[in-house]
Amino acid sequence: MTIIPYPKAKKDLTRHEKIAQLFMPAAFINDTEEEIQKLEQLIREQHIGSLCFFHSRASAATNFEGQKNVEYKKDSFKTLKKLIQRYQKAAIHPLLISIDAEWGLAMRIENTPHYPYAITLGALQNQSDLIFEVGKQIAMDCRAAGIHWNLAPVVDINNNPNNPVIGYRSFGEDKYQVTQKAMAFIQGSESEGVLTCLKHFPGHGDTEVDSHLGLPLITKSKAALLENELFPFQQLINKGVDSIMAGHLAIPALADGDEIPSSLSKKMLKDLLRDQMNFKGVVISDALNMHAVSKNYPMKGQLEWEAFNAGNDVLCFAEHIREGIEAINKNASNEQIEASFERLWHLKEKAFRVENPSLKTILSDPDLVNKKIATKSITLYKGGLDHLKDKKFVGIQISTTATKSTFFESLQKSIAFSYFNTATTKLTKIQDEIIAEENMLLAIYPPKAKPANYFHIPKQEIDFINKLLASKKVILYLFGNPYVLNHIETRHAKAIVIAYQNFKVFQEVASQHFLEKIAAKGKVPVSMTHEL
């Protein structure tokens, strides 16, 4: 049993210290020494309770407008471990360390294990054991770093193809599947003693605004929300989940017609989540620096007070610690403070008292479980392969990088054919070269998983794909977000196969599928807007 003792019994903490325990400022893996020392000083002086780690101050979670370049740092994982140790030494009360690791530490850290996105796991049929294993291995990696709390899984129901921020992070559009798969992930994480967190309450799936940038408005009725969006939360609350993250969402039906963000709404966090849904665990706010809320509270400390007063126990990415503590100390009752502190302290006790003799200090190897997932998730979305492997065909790689295709290279070990890469050959040149060809094998590698700007596939390449589909016999393999197909004239395709990820093992499995050595057993977990 690994136990980190607390220097003081919780009854000996002052009112100030109890309030400070509720604050979770951001920590950045690639900070300067000056910035690191500032955070150490904050920890020593204010006695904050937890930290949430991000890659850098230019990373996506904090650099909303994308105006700063994110530098590649090959040693980020080693840096993270050292920083956690430094920050823990600065703390009187051991810090609860958290991170977003929905698909592994790779979500925040270079050169760390990358597991499939939730949408890929959503394609699995009756494979809860594989999702358990993903949760378990991600938890092992968290523990190897010194992280106690994985702010995952996402239980938002993915029912809006234009959602700019959730999409691929959701298990799909079916509430039962989302619930079942989230539970498997949670159980895997718990098997290694790592805390989890459901997000983003009351449900961020049906939005078209990124709450990092603005406040999404959801106009559904309360009955509709209880039936669908709130279903996974309620089912998993009944199972005793550790924590729930309050999203920044305006939902008038849940707030007596008010368009207040859910993270700042007593109606949603106290009346609905606590009283009606009977949640007893920790409520953590979504990052308080997000523009959905931060831009409306210019007075330092006011947002922190409003978030606490609404019902958040942990204030994630609070930027005004001293002022926030002062505001809560001035305005909150002892009962409010004690209730949130008790919930948070109980969570910390659970995190620091873990029976697990198999604690590892090295990172997991994702390839074996990823290959199993690739084999079980690959989806024949439309048509059949029509034995194209036995015919003359040309391969075309739709890619923005010059990276060679593992998919095509694997096939070339068994079949002789030529292929072009749009990153290295002009579209006009490809068109000239294939003018007399009839059969095409098309492999699409979208640069991004988010839907903005056609997933960053150049528009001229989208047009080229559609022209190709209309004029040739095309079998298409998609190594990315299925929603890419909403921009493609899929009715012309002879066959469409979704492989979901561009990992090497997913491409190798796709080549085995094309060679008709394995069957496609996955099912796309979301609906498309087009007609086949």
- Which residues are tagged catalytic? 212, 286
How far is the C-alpha of 364 from the C-alpha of 373, rounded, in Å? 16
Which amino acid is it at 471? S
Spatial separation of the C-alpha atoms in residues 20 and 96, rounded to whole Å: 13
Bond prior to 298 in cis (omega within 30° of 0): no
Element at 292 (helix H, strand E): helix 291-294
Residue 362 identity: I
What is the SS3 string spanning 13-69? Answer: CCHHHHHHCCEECEEECCCCHHHHHHHHHHHHHHCCCEEEEECCCCCCCCCCCCCCC
- Cis bond leading into 200, ω under 30°? yes
116, 370 contact by CB (below 8 A):
yes
Q: State how far the Cα of 287 lies from the Cα of 291, in Å rounded to an integer.
A: 9
Could you write out the DSSP letters of every residue in 377-397? Answer: H-EEEEE--TTGGGS--EEEE
Separation CA 483–CA 130 (nearest Å):
24
